[in-house]
């Protein structure tokens, strides 16, 4: 077995469904959606303060109300919408990397918003001319942080096997709009105000000749707070549980995770000039900024992605990385951070050759 030892981000591609303005979503749908629950005023304030200006929906509530759809119907629609979105992101990433589809040794797909067999990994490999000997991996139900363990796993394959590989994160949260609830559950209001749809793909190649090398991966899970973030499969789609205590838990752990990741690589926070932080919401970003003592400009990419695209679950941190990559002077060293059920924190250190 040939060992290369390092893997680098050679290409990244993004695909987005049609976009809608947050205010239009409120006025055109959610205003009446919450009118019967007695918390219309609260819901309006949550939407206004979510930090989101525009976001995408493969199934827009302005056109289709899926809140009473069965889970079976939602899963069938997931396959219809996710396949072309995934193709677009994968095609752009391959073009950006200068890698042909049949050169890939591994295709990994992360998604927590839809399931079917054959899944995206099989259908995309078939439709895009990937090798029949392609190795495949599907990662489900990890939620917002899935891109980072996915990236680490793909990087390990590339480093060990010396072959290019691709990670696709595709999420259609719009399919999981929940029905009106007389209790006007605050956690549902928050999720409806934040979440969005997107697909992002990243190609990794052996060595460090181009792009960002994946230097290290770190994880930390606090299982004592496992109930703070949930994603339950119900008869009416998947239902989000999102405790307001999540930022407090992150405040306890995020500095330790980052210090451990950096110190074992001989680095400190001041040595990092790029931060790709998953914008789970404004409070999440505020807590991370405070605990890491970062200046406002280091959160600009994450806040910009939240404003323009919303929280797209697993692809979101890759959208932030793409913002950093496309700057006139990209950072030399990037720390990616994402958070999700568990409660779990993941970090990835990227360094330019």
144 is catalytic: yes
Half-sphere exposure of 279 (CA within 13 A, CB side): 29
Residue showing tokens 């700057």: 327
**Separation of alpha carbons 8 and 207, rounded Å:** 6
Residue showing tokens 């109930």: 227
How wide is the angle at C-alpha 60 spanned by C-alphas 242 and 304, nearest 5°?
60
**Separation of alpha carbons 216 and 201, rounded Å:** 20
- H/E run at residue 21: strand 19-21
Residue showing tokens 């929940």: 178
Tokens (6 digits) for 132: 């029949």
How many other β-carbons are positioned within 10 Å of the β-carbon of residue 52? 24
Phi and psi angles of residue 235, each rounded to the nearest 5 degrees, phi first:
-70, -15
- Which one from 112, 144, 169, 312 is the annotated catalytic residue? 144
Catalytic residues: 144
């Amino acid at each position: 077995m040939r060992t290369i030892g390092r893997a680098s981000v050679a290409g990244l591609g993004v695909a987005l469904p049609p976009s809608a303005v947050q205010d239009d979503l409120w006025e055109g749908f959610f205003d009446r959606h919450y009118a019967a629950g007695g918390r219309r005023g609260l819901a309006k304030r949550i939407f206004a303060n979510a930090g989101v200006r525009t976001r995408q929906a493969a199934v827009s509530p302005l056109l289709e109300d899926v809140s009473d759809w069965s889970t079976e119907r939602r899963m069938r629609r997931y396959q219809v919408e996710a396949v072309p979105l995934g193709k677009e992101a994968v095609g752009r990433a391959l073009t950006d990397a200068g890698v042909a589809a049949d050169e890939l040794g591994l295709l990994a797909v992360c998604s927590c918003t839809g399931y079917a067999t054959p899944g995206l990994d099989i259908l995309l490999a078939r439709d895009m001319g990937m090798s029949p000997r392609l190795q495949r991996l599907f990662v489900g139900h990890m939620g917002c942080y899935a891109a980072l363990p996915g990236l680490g796993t793909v990087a390990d394959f590339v480093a060990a096997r010396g072959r290019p590989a691709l990670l696709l994160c595709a999420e259609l949260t719009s399919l999981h709009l929940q029905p009106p609830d007389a209790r006007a559950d605050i956690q549902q209001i928050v999720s409806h105000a934040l979440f969005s749809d997107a697909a992002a793909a990243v190609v990794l190649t052996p060595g460090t000749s181009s792009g960002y090398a994946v230097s290290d991966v770190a994880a930390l899970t606090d299982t004592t707070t496992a109930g703070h973030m949930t994603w339950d499969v119900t008869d009416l789609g998947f239902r989000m549980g999102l405790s307001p205590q999540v930022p407090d838990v992150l405040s306890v752990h995020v500095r330790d995770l980052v210090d451990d990741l950096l110190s074992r690589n001989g680095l400190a926070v001041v040595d990092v000039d790029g931060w790709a932080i998953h914008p789970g919401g404004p409070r999440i970003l505020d807590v991370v900024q405070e605990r890491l003592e970062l200046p406002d400009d280091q959160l600009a990419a994450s806040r910009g992605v939240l404003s323009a695209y919303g929280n797209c679950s697993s692809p979101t941190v890759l959208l932030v990385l793409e913002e950093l990559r496309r700057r006139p002077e990209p950072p030399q060293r990037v720390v990616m951070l994402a958070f999700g059920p568990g409660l779990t924190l993941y970090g990835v250190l990227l360094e330019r050759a």
